[in-house]
A and B are shown apart, each in its own frame.
Chain A
């Protein structure tokens, strides 16, 4: 069973006048089959955590470890991490001009699976996954994320999650910018993957809304660059009622 272990993770970014530490010692273990919600105020470092695990070059790891089944994730190239079973649904998916969605998906699936998927079954697979996410088939011929609305980009991210079947999926504010119907559609997509029991999900969000559709096993409060409290699903209800104030007061703030 795949396990992602994050230990004492410290991360900095280069800012105009020097180096700024954003993650200040994150500890977290996510096992295949589990769903963890990470909730925290804007600017607390949630995306930084997601990007650092995925290997974005902008972030420098200064301390700590990230392992997947004992393998050193931080030593891997970005593409190796993905092939090892990590997936990041981005808060702001990137436009890639000149590359069609269908070409992108197939290239990616080929890389992840280690061989090109059989064309006939592949076409069906993509088509039905798109249908379930209520994506117009015309998207397949459009360039990756180019001119997609916020909601369309998020559906496209979850489409990839469904096709790539990661061991560990990090969903960075997949709920933001979605109306209620879209939220339900996207959540259904995530749940289909979760129901296989084969993915460990790290659901990053600002709001409790999505937790009505995707039930977490654990909830973590993220503030000031680290996890400040962990609990069960009931912690989300407390946050809903009380907000983040008690975590951002008294120096814990970003």
Chain B
């Protein structure tokens, strides 16, 4: 496959540490983070942060022409003890976890009417997930959701996106000291939907955050999962799985900012692509700031290209400002399921569809097992099968 880029794996640990002279993460942004959309220039497409994104398919989210004229049917299933509020933007919890880093995130922030705040009180250990079902009913919508997780609380949160529409909405996580949160965001949109979202997680001391981003649907999906720490002992695991079909653009731009000492992060994103003009973009930025001694981080992106005509851009980026760390590494690889592999499996009696299924299932298996939410794992496997059936 001529087009897919294959970036060799690299790793830095202990003594061998690369010190970034100038942060490429900072220079890559067209403007400093801001809540005000007016602080961002309208992108023209050649900017580093926009160069992979087909702007013409954003339906005006990037240039201010998208107006809130649509609807999303929202359903929240909150276990006992969990509160759900609708608040205005001056609520102090809104925007506290992070600041928009691009024009669309700022547009979402500037445009939502009411934000939803879902609170898990401190020390409450949920036995059932909090489920948010968002079903797009067409048109453009903006939104903002805050999950406020009290100290030592434990929660699994599943946000499910289905239906059609153009949506820009950010999701914040305020995670108290010692809390444990698993967040699953499923993008199972119709193939016409557009979805942009910045996920901001702010971790307290000794907090654990596991984010699972699953992207199947949409014409264009562009997500920014981001993590920062406010105290030592924080542990973030960012898992991602995407299945990019013909014509789809799915972009995941991650940032883990190690700004305090002794925190951990582990990023694993895996994607399968098939069909003409399937395009997956993965940008993985990990910063280890000077203060972040004792950091332990690893990030990996793997792609499996199943057919010709698909394209992958994978850019891992690790910036290290201190040598006093436990470990830091990154890897990116794009492999192709090629005719020789197919021939080998078929020469053992395995039909073509089964051969593809075997390879893709194997590719995702380990990642799916790490999710730890049974019904999501099962649904993912079923969904992967469905995508494969559709392809052959």
Q: Which residues of A contact B (CB under 8 A)?
A: 54-57, 77-79, 81-83, 87-88, 90, 93-100, 103-104, 107-108, 111-112, 143-144, 160, 164
Contacts and interface: CB of A to CB of B under 8 A. Distances in A.
Sorted from nearest, which 3 A-B pairs have the closest CB atoms?
A98-B362, A111-B349, A82-B349
Contacts of A94: 340-341, 343-344
**Most chain B C-beta atoms within 10 Å of own C-beta, residue among A54, A78, A81:** A78
B10 interface: no
A252 B350 CA distance: 39
B329 to A, nearest CB: 20
B372 interface: no
A112 B349 contact: yes
Contacts of A90: 344, 347
A99 B348 contact: no
Interface string B338-354: 01110111111111101
Is chain B's interface secondary structure helix, strand, loop, or mixed overall? helix
A112 B348 contact: yes
Interface residues of B, number: 23
Contacts of B52: none
Contacts of B360: 98
Contacts of B50: none
B346 A107 contact: no
A90 B346 CA distance: 13
B112 interface: no
Contacts of A81: 347
A97 B303 CA distance: 12
Contacts of B344: 90, 93-94, 96, 144
Contacts of B358: 99, 103-104, 107
A108 B343 contact: no
A57 B350 contact: no
Nearest to A88: B347
Contacts of A99: 345, 358-359, 362
B343 A98 contact: no
B343 A104 contact: no
Given A94-B340, A94-B341, A111-B354, A82 B362 contact: no
A129 to B, nearest CB: 15
A244 to B, nearest CB: 29
B362 A111 contact: no
Given A57-B339, A94-B341, A111 B359 contact: no
B304 A78 contact: no
Nearest to A144: B344
Contact of B335 (A54, A97, A100): A97
